[in-house]
Amino acid sequence: MCYSCKLIAYAKPKCVTSPNMTEFKFFFYPMASERSSYPVKIVLNKQRISSQWSDEEIAVEEDSQPQPTDVEQRAETEPILIKDEETAEDVWKTDLQEELRITGEESGSKSGKPPSFEQRHFDEDFITQPNISPEESVEHYPNSDGPEEPGTSRLTSEVFSTEQHRPAEDEDSLELVMVKDEKKEELGQTTALAGLDQFVMDETDGQLWTSVDPGRHTDGHPDFSFHATEEYSQNISIFPSQSVLPSVPTMTDDVWPLLPSSIGKPHADMLSAAAHMKKHVRTLADETRQQMPEGQSSEMLNSNNDGNSLALQPSQHQHRASEATVRMSECMTGSNMATTSTFSGYSLSRSSFNMVKRMRTQWRSGGTTERRFSCTFCGKSFQRFSQLKVHLRSHTGEKPYTCEQCGRSFTKQCNLIRHAVVHSGEKPYECTQCGKCFTQRSSMKSHQRTHIGESPVSQHVVPAYPGDPHTSLMLSQTKWSK
């Protein structure tokens, strides 16, 4: 959102124009007044505390917007279910270009088909915010002088969720189309097709789409989430030359009256405003990059945008989505994922999807490398994908195996089996020297080391477990070192 040009912007994938090209729409919505900035509350930043809002925002919020709204509550409680349109096998067959194509396909809604829950949430997730429809953005702006019914929510979960809402966008918003072009040689053609209101982008990497943590501020103002990439921001070219101007699609008169007077109909101010938004694109993308932990931005952010979910979770997880969940935004910010369970772990599926594909590529090209699967979270490598899959649970907080007696969950089934002795009281491991029993073998072995300690002479000569440096180290560092 720009407080200078009074525009609110966000991007949304539009459709697939060719196997190598995906269109994205930039929607710019006018702010009717300074006070109209208050709808940024609609950003649904659930993590931000109220004290972070300005006094004015709080005042407005208290006056006219009972909280939390139903939508906010729903967003907090309902899991994000991402529809998987590809089988795992298909995923393996795709290459990076296909991935881009998929990104466009999955983002495109099926016209004439009611939005499914998954699709709706996907779109919400992708758009991230602002979660306000163009129609409402006009209706509820205080400047519109429209009487606002008490209790009327400014929010809607259906906003922009499907193509069915597009007419409203076309009517009330200034629509800019961004064309994601994968091949530079097609740039000229794309430019010709794009016209004035299209951004021609160049792509050099398959991991491009990012999103901004909605919980951030920009210049002291609430931040609208934003989807773009640093590559895009670097190469973004709005109205590169005046020569493009003749190709400007004519904006309908239905649109222009809704824009702030400073923007008006297509003229120099419009170009200035667009150039201004370009600056925002770049700024926000840079901020996004800086915010992300190093080495994670591409994977993590990219995962938030589409619905290609690779079912990395075991089947049990489908019954325990509420248990093995993770808040995607927290993944993006690197906070503790395991301790906060709000959204379904499926929100990470895209990340896994990209990661797995990358790993497979690495495996194919790497040949006979010892460690073929690397975790993009921590960089740890594994010989087998199944090992990595289990390892990923430590990052996602997924614990698919739950004890029926105490409800505690575990990342591995063997851990659950091992845990069962806690309830049964069974101590199957007995010390051969003293007869004391233990629940775990490692506990018994640890105990047996104490027996070895009873013989200070032998502890250096005959370790409890020959070849076990840990034993020798323990002995040298404990009582015998005194």
Residues contributing to the site for DNA (CB under 7 A): 314, 380, 382-387, 389-391, 393-394, 399, 408-415, 417-419, 421-422, 427, 436, 438-443, 445-447, 450, 453, 465, 468, 470-471, 478-479, 482
Compute the least distance from the CB of residue 425 to DNA, in Å. Answer: 8
* Closest CB to DNA among residues 85, 468: 468
Compute the least distance from the CB of residue 339 to DNA, in Å. Answer: 12
Compute the least distance from the CB of residue 428 to DNA, in Å. Answer: 9
Compute the least distance from the CB of residue 413 to DNA, in Å. Answer: 4
* Closest CB to DNA among residues 87, 478: 478
* Closest CB to DNA among residues 265, 479: 479
Compute the least distance from the CB of residue 63 to DNA, in Å. Answer: 45
Compute the least distance from the CB of residue 320 to DNA, in Å. Answer: 14
* Closest CB to DNA among residues 245, 417: 417
* Closest CB to DNA among residues 76, 90: 90
Compute the least distance from the CB of residue 46 to DNA, in Å. Answer: 25
Give the chain as a 3 state SS string: CECCCCEEEEEEEEEEEECCEEEEEEEEEECCCCHHHHHHHHHCCCCCCHHHCCHHHHHHHHHHCCCCCHHHHHHHHCCCCCCCCCCHHHHHHCCHHHHHHHHHHHHCCCCCCCCCHHHHHHHHHHHCCCCCCHHHHHHCCHHHCCCCCCCCCCCCCCCCCCHHHHHHHHHHCEEEEEEEECCHHHHHHHHHHHCCCEEEEECCCCCCCEECCCCCEECCEECCCCEECHHHHHHCCCCCCHHHHHHCCCCCCCCHHHCCCCCCCCCHHHHHHHHHHHHHHHHHHHHHHHHCCCCCHHHHHHCCCCCCCCCCCCHHHHHCCCCCECCHHHHHHCCCCCCCCCCEHHHHHHHHHHHHHHHHHHHHHHCCCCCCEECCCCCCEECCHHHHHHHHHHHHCCCCEECCCCCCEECCHHHHHHHHHHHHCCCCEECCCCCCEECCHHHHHHHHHHHHHCCCCHHHHCCCCCCCHHHHHHHHHCHHHC
Q: Which of 232, 329, 350, 332 is nearest to 291 (CA)?
A: 332
Compute the least distance from the CB of residue 243 to DNA, in Å. Answer: 53
Compute the least distance from the CB of residue 331 to DNA, in Å. Answer: 14
* Closest CB to DNA among residues 156, 411: 411
* Closest CB to DNA among residues 218, 446: 446
* Closest CB to DNA among residues 254, 468: 468
* Closest CB to DNA among residues 116, 450: 450
